[in-house]
Structure 1
Amino acid sequence: MINVTFYRMKSHSIHSFVISGHAFFAERGKDIVCAGVSAVSIGTINAIHALTGVTPEIEQGDGFLRCVLPKDLSENIQERVQLLLEGMIVSLQTIEEEYGEHMKITFKKQEVE
């Protein structure tokens, strides 16, 4: 199963997300759930960089992606980044609605701003 966890600050803004695991919907290379989650997540990271100039801290491995946003963003840039991340959530929730036995989205709150 693919586990997607979004970490929100007390202010509700998204600070980071982690994606781990494998969908096991189909054989490797033909797994549409994995491909969809990968396309949405990498596409969002690329959009954040291309449209805002922000370069998140990224860690990748087999079945693993961690993305952490810088803390010192201006209010305008922060709003734009958050909109892109909220769009990512909507896209992933659409996948989860159809293929929920292969992926799960969780939200966690950070205690520190």
Structure 2
Amino acid sequence: MIKIHIYRDHHKNIAEYLVEGHAYAAEPGSDIVCASISVLAQTTLLALYELLSIDVIYEIKDGRLYCKLPEALSTDIREKANLILDTMIIGIKGTQGMYKEFIEFYDEEV
């Protein structure tokens, strides 16, 4: 099971996200559920860093990706980051809609 946790600040901005686990929907290397979620989470991390130059705190291990944004972002960068992060969530929810049995999604305020 893949578990996705979205953590929001008191302004409802995504402050961090965690993706962990494996779907086991198919053999490793052929699992499109794992691949889909991995691509979404990793591309989001790369976009935040490469497009917006946000110095994110992150950790990537087998079956785990964690990303935390710094608190002090300008309004402009925060708005752009929100677009990237919201796009990730759209992709995750779309994938979850097709493969409910393999993905748990949590969106909470911290």
Q: Which TM-score bucket, shorter chain as reference?
A: over 0.9
Query: How much is the aligned-residue C-alpha RMSD, in angstroms?
Result: 0.7
- Which residue number corresponds to residue 17 of structure 1? 17
Structure 1 stretches lacking a partner, 5+ long: none
- Which residue number corresponds to residue 6 of structure 2? 6
- Which residue number corresponds to residue 95 of structure 1? 95
Shift of 1:55: 2.4
Identity of aligned residues (%): 34
Partners in 2 of 1:70 and 1:59 — Cα distance?
15
Aligned letter for 2:60?
Answer: Q
Q: 3-state DSSP class of the match of 1:86?
A: helix
TM-score (norm 2): 0.97
TM-score (norm 1): 0.94
Partners in 2 of 1:83 and 1:55 — Cα distance?
17
Moved more, 28-37 or 50-59: 50-59
- Which residue number corresponds to residue 72 of structure 1? 72
| Deviation digits for residues 5-50 of structure 1 (CA, Å, limit 9, x no counterpart) | 0001111000000011110000100000000001111111111112
Shift of 1:62: 1.5
Moved more, 74-83 or 42-51: 42-51
Matches within 5 A, 1:23-102: 23-102=23-102
